[in-house]
Structure 1
Amino acid sequence: MENTKLVKLVLADGTEIEGKSFGAYTASAGEVVFSTAMTGYPENLTDPSFRGQILVLTYPMVGNYGVPMEQIEQDISSALESSQVHISGLVVSYYSEEYNHWNASQSLSEWLAAHDIPGIYDVDTRFLTKKLREEGAMLGKIVTPDHDIPLHDPNEDNLVAQVSVDGVKHYGSGKHKIVLVDCGVKNNIIRCLLERDVELTRVPWDYDFNQLDYDGLFLSNGPGDPTTCEKTIGHLRTALAGDKPIFGICLGIQLMGLACGGSTYKLKYGHRSHNQPVRQLGTNKCYVTSQNHGFAVDMKNLPAEWEGLFENLNDGTCEGIRHKTKPFFAVQFHPEAAGGPVDTEYLFDDFLASVETYKSTK
């Protein structure tokens, strides 16, 4: 094995779990959460929505297909969801030092070390996941015998400000002008939009996009507590007073819910997997979706002109909302997947269809 140095995962309730080190041999603190996805760890680890979290993977073997070669297409990575690893630490049962994949360029341990992210393996992840399900996501830290640090709650930080783009960026030259508010956008969202003949303007989380000329507005995914994004919510409230189409994903639905006068709350342990079942309300249509979030919109506090669009079949939580008369809608899951199923990618087409309809009336 690459590294048999001992490290320890320490939880806020005093639980200590010993394991072996891979990745960077250092200490790190964050919120300990779990994901039940069987594959897709390169995509998950580069998803900005995981910022500040120590991620527990329930799948027993991790690392066996390495990390894909970095290739840039249209100014974004063709294989990863951002340019860096965003988790604070990784916890797995069995780490496979040997890897094999046609597009692999390095091991998972080498990749984590390059990004200064610690990993711990030989951990009973089944026990740990059951604990998090019963007691809820909790603060924790990975420490070495020589390096300890205090616990830290990442949800107290404005994580969106940490992961958003620094300035305005432009992509494509299609017929629809779309503004993407980057709160920690995954690259596959950008890919999905560019595949649909758009001219994309990507702006920082706190940018006043209302000053721009655009046909449709897109609200991205992102990490942390949506209430920290006061500037985004303020700009979005202005946009909701108009009638240009708006589509939000993940954090985007929470921002839309807050901007329209609703509220959000923290889930006990969140939804992080590629197998979350949702149902489209008013129908018997069900979909398997990819999800990564710790907060949700409170359906009880939605204004009268808004309604639910999807619900989670595991716990009944809100998975989608829409305005009853205007072309505004958002979903809590990830229709762009990467990783996970693409059952709901058609929602991008629905959004662009609403943009086409809007433009035809002007």
Structure 2
Amino acid sequence: MTAVLVLEDGRVFRGRAYGAVGVTFGEAVFCTGMTGYQETLTDPSYARQIVVATAPQIGNTGWNDEDDESARIWVAGYVVRDPARVPSNWRSRRSLDEELVSQGVVGISGIDTRALTRHLRERGAMRAGVFSGEAIAAEAELLARVREQPHMKGANLCEEVSTKETYVVPAIGTKRFTVAAVDLGIKGMTPHRMAERGVEVHVLPATATVEDVYAVDPDGVFFSNGPGDPETADHPVSVMRAVLERGTPLFGICFGQQILGRALGFGTYKLKYGHRGINQPVQDRTTGKVEVTAHNHGFAVDAPLDRVSDTPYGRAEVTHVCLNDGVVEGLRLLDRPVFSVQYHPEAGAGPHDAAYLFDRFTSLMNTALMESARG
């Protein structure tokens, strides 16, 4: 069945329907991961985005019941060049196409994804629509429908993808710490990585108040990844500022870093086409080490790279930077136990170069507990 991808600047790609048949709208972005498509599709940070896979063949390992990062697929649509005809993996339970159909995710295959990716790199991420079956109409009509859709800038999405009720991920083995994790679009692997280190994680809704956070008597507070424009997330910023006032050890990733940046008084901005994939080089400026990291962000923090900044909560500095384009990838406070990174140290499906950041978080909590005991 024929399918059409229409970009807001008028570029059109024609291919075959993949997944559900119908119509979908979102921001067209590209992901450079060669593997891990199941984790990508179920990452809440991709809400309202039509994801273009740059790897030429997708679906070889099918779909299993273990690797989901959340309870559903969150991408608005999926664009691939050459879908696998027959999945082959001992954990596969069904094909990727079957899962897309069952969850109603509209996609397109058989297009030149290299040309599409180059177009998005040059023109930037933009609104798009995928149409198949009876949804296909004259190109002018389809383009008009795409241009009616909201932009990602100004989108407030974290509450849409967050848990509605608090739940607990127990520590694996001996419990050492309790963490209150504010879910702005959290991936399942994140509390698991903390649980591996003896952390009992209380996952709270994005609407949680500071009273909710401290009701679990946390040793540390975590702010997760998530979708949308951080400039719209005023409530999480106010909660983070209250946590900063108390001096509790705090760790944020991705959207959580953008929330920290705003809480410290820095601005945020939208990247031209963002960072999405599992092969982004980042340097930890505190150690000089270069890590290969997993990314999924279209916004970034506007903080100075060349100096320490004064903030209402003490001195702040940039700790990590992307070696591709100089984007701020990490922040920390020098006078409080607070740090963040813009990428994904939990890294399902990999790489695992940045897993040490969870150890850094537990070390901060351990030091705080020791100081409290001495005090």
Deviations, residues 146-174 of structure 1 (Å, cap 9, x unaligned): 21672223524321111100011122152
CA distance in 1, matches of 2:86, 2:286: 49
Is the contact between residue 304 and residue 318 of structure 2 (CA under 8 Å) also seen in structure 1? no
- Residue 122 of structure 2 aligns to a residue whose secondary structure is helix
Mapped pair 1:204 → 2:199: no
* TM-score normalised by structure 2 residue count: 0.91
Query: Are residues 243 and 322 of structure 1, via their aligned partners in 2, closer, same or farther at CA, if it must alter by over 3 Å?
Result: same
One-letter code aligned to 1:114? S
Mapped pair 1:262 → 2:266: yes
Deviations, residues 63-110 of structure 1 (Å, cap 9, x unaligned): 111001x2xxxxxxx421001000011111101121110000111111
One-letter code aligned to 2:351? P
Is the contact between residue 8 and residue 18 of structure 1 (CA under 8 Å) also seen in structure 2? yes
Mapped pair 1:115 → 2:103: yes
CA distance in 1, matches of 2:128, 2:254: 24
One-letter code aligned to 2:338? F
One-letter code aligned to 1:358? A
Tell me what 1:93 maps to: 81
Tell me what 2:282 maps to: 278
- Residue 256 of structure 2 aligns to a residue whose secondary structure is helix
CA distance in 2, matches of 1:238, 1:244: 10
Structure 2 matches for 1:1-362, cutoff 5 A? Answer: 5-68=1-64, 70=65, 78-144=66-132, 146-147=134-135, 150-151=145-146, 152-153=149-150, 155=152, 156-172=154-170, 174-210=175-211, 211-212=214-215, 213-300=217-304, 303-304=309-310, 305-362=315-372
Deviation, 1:357, is 0.5
One-letter code aligned to 1:169? Y
Is the contact between residue 46 and residue 227 of structure 2 (CA under 8 Å) also seen in structure 1? yes
Query: Are residues 130 and 226 of structure 1, via their aligned partners in 2, closer, same or farther at CA, if it must alter by over 3 Å?
Result: same
Give 4+ residue runs of structure 1 displaced > 3 Å after superposition: 300-303
CA distance in 2, matches of 1:268, 1:357: 40
- Residue 361 of structure 1 aligns to a residue whose secondary structure is helix
Is the contact between residue 61 and residue 94 of structure 1 (CA under 8 Å) also seen in structure 2? yes
Tell me what 1:73 maps to: none
One-letter code aligned to 1:94? D
One-letter code aligned to 2:47? R
- Residue 237 of structure 2 aligns to a residue whose secondary structure is helix
Is the contact between residue 158 and residue 228 of structure 1 (CA under 8 Å) also seen in structure 2? yes
- Residue 101 of structure 2 aligns to a residue whose secondary structure is helix
Is the contact between residue 2 and residue 16 of structure 2 (CA under 8 Å) also seen in structure 1? yes
Deviation, 1:282, is 4.7
CA distance in 1, matches of 2:202, 2:133: 48
CA distance in 1, matches of 2:242, 2:288: 35
One-letter code aligned to 1:55? V
- Residue 32 of structure 1 aligns to a residue whose secondary structure is strand
Structure 1 unaligned residues grouped into runs of 5+: 71-77
Deviation, 1:283, is 4.0
CA distance in 2, matches of 1:215, 1:119: 44
One-letter code aligned to 2:92? A
- Residue 254 of structure 1 aligns to a residue whose secondary structure is helix
Deviation, 1:50, is 0.5
One-letter code aligned to 1:178? V
CA distance in 2, matches of 1:293, 1:125: 20
Deviation, 1:329, is 0.1
- Residue 134 of structure 2 aligns to a residue whose secondary structure is coil
Deviations, residues 203-255 of structure 1 (Å, cap 9, x unaligned): 01120134422110011000111122111111111111121100011111000
Deviation, 1:361, is 1.1
* TM-score normalised by structure 1 residue count: 0.94
Number of residue pairs matched? 350
One-letter code aligned to 1:80? D
Greater alpha carbon shift after TM alignment, 319-328 vs 222-231? 222-231
Is the contact between residue 24 and residue 131 of structure 2 (CA under 8 Å) also seen in structure 1? yes
CA distance in 1, matches of 2:353, 2:92: 27
* C-alpha RMSD of matched pairs (Å): 1.4
CA distance in 2, matches of 1:21, 1:144: 6
CA distance in 2, matches of 1:110, 1:157: 30
- Residue 135 of structure 2 aligns to a residue whose secondary structure is coil
CA distance in 2, matches of 1:22, 1:356: 50
